[in-house]
Amino acid sequence: MPDFELRRIHAFVSEFARRQAGRTLAFPGGFAVRDDAFAHSRGNNQVVVDGAVDPAALPALADEALGDLPYRLISVLDDATGAACAEPLVRAGYQHSVCLVMLHSGPAPAPGAGREAGVVDLDDLRGPLTRSWHDFLPDAGEEVVRHLVERREARRRGAEVVHFIGSRAEDGEVASWADLYMDRASGTAQIEDLVTSEDHLKRGHGDAVLAAALRMSAAAGCGTRFLIAEAEDWPRHWYARRGFTAVGRMHSFERAQDVPVPFC
């Protein structure tokens, strides 16, 4: 069952990248996505490997597809393929990192007596998102931050259903948020970019957002509910305590000459 789930997840991630892209460029074993409207967003301008590829050819393929940009990002969905790509890409100056594909098992959390989260508009998120990116990237310019905020509009193209989920503080501002992407035909849902603003940490907002996303995806008939977490960072343990299990690994390779923006 995990292998079947993982193949479904790989297909979902690949299709999401294609659908949200401004344009794509295919090559044997993968494709590049580009979006000039968000040129500072690496997630919108990257190479995605979702098939059999020649690892030695990847540096040149990335240069051809992303040559006018001051950074390179290559995402490899299959674990074995990513491991095979590591040596030539690291030799070419790329930094290698690993993410865990984490699958939710068990029932979605029932509504409780604590905080509740729900669907919010992008307009509600712009202020908190902008402050969050400035905190995370204090040296980034206004245009960089604007691209990282506004790229969420392009994500609406990525899946059949795209929701922004938020939990509000007492003053009404969104304190924690995440994206929810769903494909009801395949029964697949991804929870992405769960963030709580620093002023509202440890007050149950993140739990409320995650629980709401899980309930919405279960109600839509999505039995495959997953997220992607960095293998070496603490959130993977937080997700594990909430019913997520690592079922696979994805690989990311990054090379940059400008402000470092990991996984952006």
Sketch the domain layout of the chain as residue ranges.
2-101+250-256, 118-246
One digit per residue, the tens of pLDDT, for the chain of length 264 reads: 568 889 999 999 999 999 999 999 999 999 999 999 999 999 999 999 999 999 999 999 999 999 999 999 999 999 999 999 999 999 999 999 999 999 999 888 888 767 899 999 999 999 999 999 999 999 999 999 999 999 999 999 999 999 999 999 999 999 999 999 999 999 999 999 999 999 999 999 999 999 999 999 999 999 999 999 999 999 999 999 999 999 999 999 999 865 444 444
Residue 3: the pLDDT is 84
Quote the CA–CA distance of 214 and 111 in Å, as a whole number.
11
Residue 262: the pLDDT is 45
Which pTM does this prediction carry? 0.94
Residues contacting residue 151 through CB under 8 Å, at least 6 positions apart: 35, 38, 41, 43, 44
Residue 261: the pLDDT is 44
Cα 12 → chain centroid: 12
Question: What is 2-101+250-256's CATH number?
Answer: 3.40.630
Residue 2: the pLDDT is 65
Question: Of 50, 44, 41, whose CA–CA distance to 20 is shortest?
Answer: 44
Quote the CA–CA distance of 97 and 31 in Å, as a whole number.
20
Residue 113: the pLDDT is 65
Residue 111: the pLDDT is 82
Calculate the alpha carbon distances from 226 to 86, 168, 204, 212, 223 in Å.
Answer: 25, 24, 21, 14, 10
- What topology is assigned to 118-246 in CATH? Aminopeptidase (3.40.630)
* 2-101+250-256 against 118-246: fold identical: yes
20 φ, ψ (degrees, to nearest 5): -85, -10
Residue 257: the pLDDT is 61
